Structure 1
Amino acid sequence: MSPSEREDVIVKEAVRFFAEFGFEGHTRELARRLDITQPLLYRYFATKDALVERVYQEVFLRRWNPFWDEVIGDRSKPLRERMVAFYQDYAKAILTYEWIRLFMFSGLKGLDFNTRYLELLRRRVFNTLVDELRLEFGAPGTAEKPPTDIEVEAVWSLHAAIFYLGVRKFIYNMPVGPLEPIIEMKVLSFVDGVGVVVRDATTTAG
C-alpha cells in the first residue's frame, strides 16, 4: 500500500471511529482497528488534533458544494423550486451517520468545528436566502438593508428542522420517512409563512 493510499484508509476509518465513539476515542484503539501500530499512525498524523482536523476537512468541507449559493440565487426559477432543490441536495450531504454524529460530538467536546462550519453556512447560504426571500416578498435587498437577526433566525428554524431529521435517525435511532417529500413539505411551509417576518423586519429595521 502506498503512503497516500494508507493515509486515505486511516482517514476513512478515523471518520467511522470518531462517529461511533466520539472524539474521546483513543488513537491506540483506532490503530488496532486499522491493524497497524500506534507509532505508524503517528507517522501520518503527528498528533490526535491533526487527525481530528483532517476528519473535519473530510466530512464537513469536502461535502460542501460550492455551487449551492448559485442554486439558491438562480432567479430564472421560482424561489420555492430553488429552495427545495437546495435543501434536498444539502440533505444528501449532511443527513448521514458520520456527519450528524461528528457534528454533535464536536459540540459536546467543545471543538470549533461547529463554529467554523456554521459561519460558512451563514455567509454562503443564509445571507443569500434572506436576499432571495426579500425579493420574493417585495422588500429591500440586503445591499440596502443588511439581514436582521430575526430574518436569520427564521432561516435557522428551517435549517434546524431539516438537521433534526438526522438527529432523529442517527442519534435517537428513530425511523424517518422518505426525505425528499418531507423536505419539500418543510420548505414550502416555511416559504408560505415567512413573508410576514421579512416584511416586518425590513419595515422596522433602521
Structure 2
Amino acid sequence: MNKKASPKRVRVKQKRLSPDNRRKEFVAKATEFFSEEGFGGGTRDLARRLGVTQPLLYRYFPSKDDLIKEVYRTVYLEPLDTGWEKLLADRSRPIRDRLQEFYNAYTKVIFTRKWLRIYLYSGLKGLDINRWYVGVVRDKILSRIIRECRHEAGLPPQTRPTASELEMAWVFHSGIFYYGVRKYIYESPVLEDKEQMIRDALDAFLAGFERVFGAEESARRPPVKAVG
C-alpha cells in the first residue's frame, strides 16, 4: 500500500522592506527590547530577536550608542513636537484650560509601561537620555508654563524663571509623572480618573504659584506714599 505523500511546505515569502522602513522596524523592536532588558542588553541578543544578523544591524546603526540615541529621539523627542509649545503659549485661553489640555495629551504619551521603564533604566545606568530629557522638559515645558503663569497672575515678565519658580514647577510636574510610575511600574492603587488627578494638581499649583510669587513681588514694590 502506497504511503500518502506528505504535503509540501509552502514557504511564505517575506515582504522586502525599504531601508527606511527597516530602520524604523529596528528602532521599534529595540525600544521593546530595552524596555524589557534594560540598556545592558547586548546587540547580539537584539539582532537575534529581530531575526537578522548582528552585522546587518550595525549597517543601520554603527554602534549601540547610535541605536540608543535613535530610540531617545523617537520615544522622547518626536512626541514633544506636536504643537504643545504653541498650545501653552495661546493667551486667548485661560492658563488653566491650556495646562489641562496639555497634561491630558502629555500623559497619554508617557503613561505606558514601555516609556516609563526605558526612562527609569536609563537613569539607573547613568545614560545621557535622562539628562537630555530633563533639559528639554525644563526649557520647552516648565519655563513656558512659568512664563504663562506670571502673565496670568499679572506679574512682570522675566527673561528666565527663578530657581524657586522652577522648583515649584518641577514639584508639580513630577507629581503627575510619579502617578504614572505608581500605576504602570509599581502597579499600586491610584485615583483612576486621571483627568481629575490633573485638575486637582493644577488647582494646587496655580493657587500656590500666585500666592507665593505674587506675595514676593508685592513685598519688593515700594510702599505707596499717601498724598497729604
Structure 2 length as normaliser, TM-score? 0.82
Taking a change above 3 Å as real, the CA distance of residues 27 and 80 of structure 1, as seen in their structure-2 partners, is same
* Map of 1:171 onto structure 2: 185
**Structure number, greater radius of gyration:** 2
* Map of 1:132 onto structure 2: 148
Q: How does 1:141-160 map to 2 (within 5 A)?
A: 141-143=157-159, 146-160=160-174
* Map of 2:6 onto structure 1: none
> What letter is aligned with 2:145?
L
Q: Is the 8 A contact 1:168 1:174 kept in 2?
A: yes
Q: Is the 8 A contact 1:79 1:132 kept in 2?
A: yes
Specify which structure has the bigger relative contact order, considering alpha-carbon pairs within 8 angstroms and separated by 6 or more residues. Answer: 1
Tell me how far 1:91 sits from its aligned partner. Answer: 0.9
Taking a change above 3 Å as real, the CA distance of residues 175 and 41 of structure 1, as seen in their structure-2 partners, is farther
Q: Which moved more, 1:167-176 or 1:12-21?
A: 167-176
Q: Deviations over 1:25-49 (max 9, x none)?
A: 1111111111122222112111111
Q: State yes or no: 1:98 paired with 2:144.
A: no
Q: Following the alignment from structure 1 to structure 2, what is the Cα–Cα distance between the partners of residues 82 and 37?
A: 48
Taking a change above 3 Å as real, the CA distance of residues 9 and 203 of structure 1, as seen in their structure-2 partners, is same
Taking a change above 3 Å as real, the CA distance of residues 27 and 151 of structure 1, as seen in their structure-2 partners, is same
* Map of 1:180 onto structure 2: 195
Taking a change above 3 Å as real, the CA distance of residues 8 and 162 of structure 1, as seen in their structure-2 partners, is same
Q: How does 1:13-28 map to 2 (within 5 A)?
A: 13-28=29-44
* Map of 1:54 onto structure 2: 70
* Map of 2:9 onto structure 1: none
Q: State yes or no: 1:76 paired with 2:74.
A: no
Q: Following the alignment from structure 2 to structure 1, what is the Cα–Cα distance between the partners of residues 100 and 214?
A: 22
* Map of 1:112 onto structure 2: 128
Taking a change above 3 Å as real, the CA distance of residues 175 and 30 of structure 1, as seen in their structure-2 partners, is farther
Structure 1 length as normaliser, TM-score? 0.90
* Map of 2:104 onto structure 1: 88
Q: Following the alignment from structure 1 to structure 2, what is the Cα–Cα distance between the partners of residues 16 and 201?
A: 48
Q: CA RMSD in A?
A: 1.9
Taking a change above 3 Å as real, the CA distance of residues 102 and 117 of structure 1, as seen in their structure-2 partners, is same
Q: Is the 8 A contact 1:19 1:101 kept in 2?
A: yes
% identical equivalent positions:
42
Q: Deviations over 1:98-151 (max 9, x none)?
A: 2211111111111111111121222122122112111222221124xx311111
Aligned length: 204
Q: Following the alignment from structure 2 to structure 1, what is the Cα–Cα distance between the partners of residues 117 and 45?
A: 19
Q: Following the alignment from structure 1 to structure 2, what is the Cα–Cα distance between the partners of residues 118 and 86?
A: 17
Q: Deviations over 1:142-179 (max 9, x none)?
A: 24xx3111111111111101110221123212244132
Q: Deviations over 1:53-75 (max 9, x none)?
A: 11111101111135212211211
Q: Which moved more, 1:166-175 or 1:19-28?
A: 166-175
